Amino acid sequence: MDCQNPGKSRRRRGGRGTRDEGRDVRLSKSLSYALRHGACKMGFRMSSDGFIFVDELLSHQHFSSFSLEDVERVVATNDKQRFKLQNHPESGRVQIRANQGHSVQVEDLELRPVVSDDPDCPQEAVHGSYMMHWASIRSQGLSRMTRTHIHLAPGLPGEGRVISGMRGNCDLAVYIDVPKALSDGIKFYWSENGVLLTPGGADGLLSPRYFSRAQRLKPSQCELELQ
């Protein structure tokens, strides 16, 4: 410690902590891209259930400044539980995957189908978006766009078991009548981290007919007209 200027020492420690946090954010974003979208482009071999071996990941130039301990820390501290680490059942090598959010097709993400008579089937699920898109969403529905699923949450962030499923800065919440959609053959799945996923209909859209309500969240909550 610099006894003549203790504030100087504190600033140094604080700066280092900020740099460490920034480094973890960079790693988290890089993992998200590689595991959800860019594995093939980056030359990684992804298993049918979406896993990549961590040692192969770290040997890539994009991840060469990180260690296994860095990856383990980012996975453990990610507030939305975006990733899963496990040992390969045969080789024991550590592997990682994203729990959801893929634009690449993954055959077996261990998603749990939602059925209407399941106690875990929510009566409503919410999709977070932004008011700038409301006119399009209200007329056309929700689109999975380039991803394989539309992401929904069983409630707003901070409500009970809700961990992930929508961004914290969303200012629009669109509520879905899940039993109604299920009765029309729309499929829903639970991911490992509690995100409700649906591919929508054959056109990749979740029709406005399944909207039960919509709210503007910011600057203050208010109900929106569906028609």
- pLDDT of the chain, 227 residues: tens digit per residue: 333 333 433 333 444 455 566 889 999 999 989 888 888 889 988 888 888 999 999 999 999 999 999 999 999 988 777 888 989 988 999 999 888 777 766 666 678 889 888 888 889 999 999 999 999 999 999 998 888 889 898 877 666 554 455 677 889 999 999 999 999 999 999 888 788 899 999 999 999 999 999 999 888 889 999 97
- Read off the amino acid at residue 51: F
pLDDT at position 36: 83
Pairwise CA distance, residues 225 & 213, whole Å: 8
Q: Which whole-number Å values give the CA distances from 44 to 24, 69, 104, in the listed order?
A: 21, 20, 13
Pairwise CA distance, residues 94 & 58, whole Å: 11
Pairwise CA distance, residues 160 & 126, whole Å: 14
Pairwise CA distance, residues 100 & 149, whole Å: 8
pLDDT at position 5: 39
pLDDT at position 70: 94
CA 163 centroid distance within chain: 10
Pairwise CA distance, residues 163 & 169, whole Å: 14
Q: How many CB atoms lie under 10 A from the CB of residue 209?
A: 11
Pairwise CA distance, residues 122 & 40, whole Å: 36
Domains and their CATH numbers in the chain: 6-98 (1.10.10.970), 112-223 (3.20.170.30)
Q: 139: closest CA among 186, 205, 75, 190?
A: 205
Q: Are 129 and 170 in contact (CB under 8 A)?
A: yes
pLDDT at position 165: 57
Q: 25: closest CA among 68, 77, 61?
A: 77
pLDDT at position 109: 65
Pairwise CA distance, residues 95 & 184, whole Å: 38
Pairwise CA distance, residues 163 & 81, whole Å: 8
The first and second tokens of residue 211, run together, are: 């909207």
